[in-house]
Amino acid sequence: MNAKELVKALESTYGVKLPPRYEKFLLTKEYEKYSKVEFSGYFTGPYTLDFLDENLTDVVELGMAHGIDDIDDTPWSDDYASFVPLASLSHPDVDEPKMFLVIDVDKEANPVLVFAQEGWKLFPVSKSFEDFLKHLPKIKTDIKKSFTPGGDSEDE
């Protein structure tokens, strides 16, 4: 799937308008400069980022491909409605990473978070999409800032 098709599919599937900066990131192939992430903190290790994974357009398929067996029980269209899958993650030593990156399209700065199987939690990794790109490949995760939409309250 090319970037233009992905933009259209993401907007259609999740019923959102992608942020202009994120759309530009895809359409101008800027994502090609960002293929790796090195997590520290709660999640650790090197991962490869795939911003054009066709599974991004179907959160159930994406979750299943990443070993999140109960993803179809996640209230994505309700509690997670503002979170759009941003990139799939792969690791050379982990067959199923049980997590992927999402972007919050409702907040103006478009924070980036990790969605993880454990309690369907979101782990903020940046306060904005720009900040996320600025700090790649180094990203810190902190379990103390994790939350479940519609459940735990988010730390501001």
Q: Among all chains, which residue has been given the structure tokens 């999402």?
A: 102
Residue 151 confidence (pLDDT): 66
79 to 10, 52, 66: CA distances (angstroms): 17, 24, 21
* Pairing relationship of beta strands 36-41 and 138-141 according to DSSP bridges: parallel
Residues 10 and 14: their CA atoms lie apart, in Å, by: 6
Residues 17 and 3: their CA atoms lie apart, in Å, by: 15
Residue 129 confidence (pLDDT): 97
**Which CATH number among 2.30.30, 3.40.50, 3.30.2310, 3.40.1580 corresponds to the domain 3-145?**
3.40.1580
**32-45 tens-digit pLDDT:** 999 999 999 999 99
Low-confidence ranges of the chain (pLDDT < 50): 152-156
Residues 139 and 127: their CA atoms lie apart, in Å, by: 12
- Please, which residues have CB within 8 angstroms of residue 12's CB and are 6 or more apart in sequence? none
Domain-wise residue ranges, the chain: 3-145
Maximum Cα interatomic distance, the chain, rounded to a whole number of Å: 37
111's tokens: 């924070």
